[in-house]
Structure 1
Amino acid sequence: MKRVVIFGNSGSGKSTLAKALCDKHGLAHFDLDTIAWEASQPPIRKPTDESTKTIESFVVEHRNWVIEGCYADLLDMVMPHASEIIFLDLPVEVCIANAKNRPWEPHKYASKEAQDANLDMLIDWISQYNTRGDEFSHTAHTRLFESYNGEKTRYMDNHESI
């Protein structure tokens, strides 16, 4: 059974790595961004219990999977089911460059223009990764990584992981 959890800052390459692993191993893919937010401007987090039910259904429905996201609170719930975890711990500057160059993500945005309209907000968000203290922070991700007792990998360069 292969159940992989990938986490890190926005723009760290979580979706790219997840897709590569899915293609290589035939895994189901679950991007937590698709369930964590209300469709509103500005974005508002959905209640955690609502997201939790969706995640639990996915884990039960799929034997082999990749779950990726930056939500330490949601990932805490998934970690006991994981066979391995991957922490993409890239420098903020690399994550910002990746965000500026990301292709359109149709599962998240209605158009490339809608995605690009959020770019300034995303870059600001990414730049705060090391100073925030919330569930999206480097501190929270480091805690997840250090507390996991199974197979785990920490990449500090985006060329290592793909």
Structure 2
Amino acid sequence: MRRVIIFGNSASGKSTLAKRFAEQGLAHLDLDSLAWDMTPQPVRRDKQLSCQQIDEFSQANTDWVIEGCYSDLLAHVLSEATEVIFMNLSIEQCIANAEQRPWEPHKYASKSKQDANLTMLIDWISQYDSRSDEFSLQAHQALFDKFSGKKSQIIENTMVNID
């Protein structure tokens, strides 16, 4: 059984790495897909509903990878993980990744709509060190420190290895 949790700042490479695990047969859950109600002005879903959906995914799959920046949701499933990976790239690397990000059709209706959001995303990424919410460096470090199993911290894109 292999159950991997990947977390870190926006545009740190979580989805890219999770897709590599999925190519090896792990079921993949991107928490963005269940954390928000996709209304014209997206609204964060009730945490209890999101946790219920995570439980359903976990129970339906023996081997999985769950990725996202939501430390509150990841904490809910942390005890089921066999491994955690903290994508702790520099803010500058995350911004560069965001600027080069291909279209994410599961999040945006078009590449132009995604690009229109880039300024807001870069601002969000830039606040990672100073925020104190569930999306912050502080929250991610606490999640990483709490986990007692196999764990790794990626600080550069070149360090990614999924053995």
Which of 79-88 and 102-111 deviates more? 102-111
1:58 corresponds in structure 2 to 57
| Structure 2, unpaired ranges of 5+ | none
2:140 corresponds in structure 1 to 141
Q: Residue 150 of structure 1: CA displacement? A: 0.4
1:2 corresponds in structure 2 to 2
* SS of residue matched to 2:135: coil
- Hey, what's the Cα distance between the residues in 1 that align with 2:116 and 2:38? 15
Quick check: 1:114 aligned with 2:98? no
* SS of residue matched to 2:84: strand
Counterpart of 2:148 in structure 1: which amino acid? Answer: N
TM-score between both structures, scaled by the size of structure 1: 0.96
1:97 corresponds in structure 2 to 96
**TM-align CA RMSD:** 1.0
Counterpart of 2:13 in structure 1: which amino acid? Answer: G
- Hey, what's the Cα distance between the residues in 2 that align with 1:144 and 1:56? 19
Counterpart of 1:159 in structure 2: which amino acid? Answer: T
Which of 63-72 and 39-48 deviates more? 39-48
Counterpart of 2:118 in structure 1: which amino acid? Answer: L
* SS of residue matched to 2:43: coil
- Hey, what's the Cα distance between the residues in 1 that align with 2:114 and 2:31? 17
TM-score between both structures, scaled by the size of structure 2: 0.96
- Hey, what's the Cα distance between the residues in 2 that align with 1:121 and 1:41? 16
Q: What are the superposed Cα offsets for residues 112-158 of structure 1, whole Å, 9 maximum, x if unpaired?
A: 11211211111110000000000000000000000100000001111
- Hey, what's the Cα distance between the residues in 2 that align with 1:95 and 1:40? 26
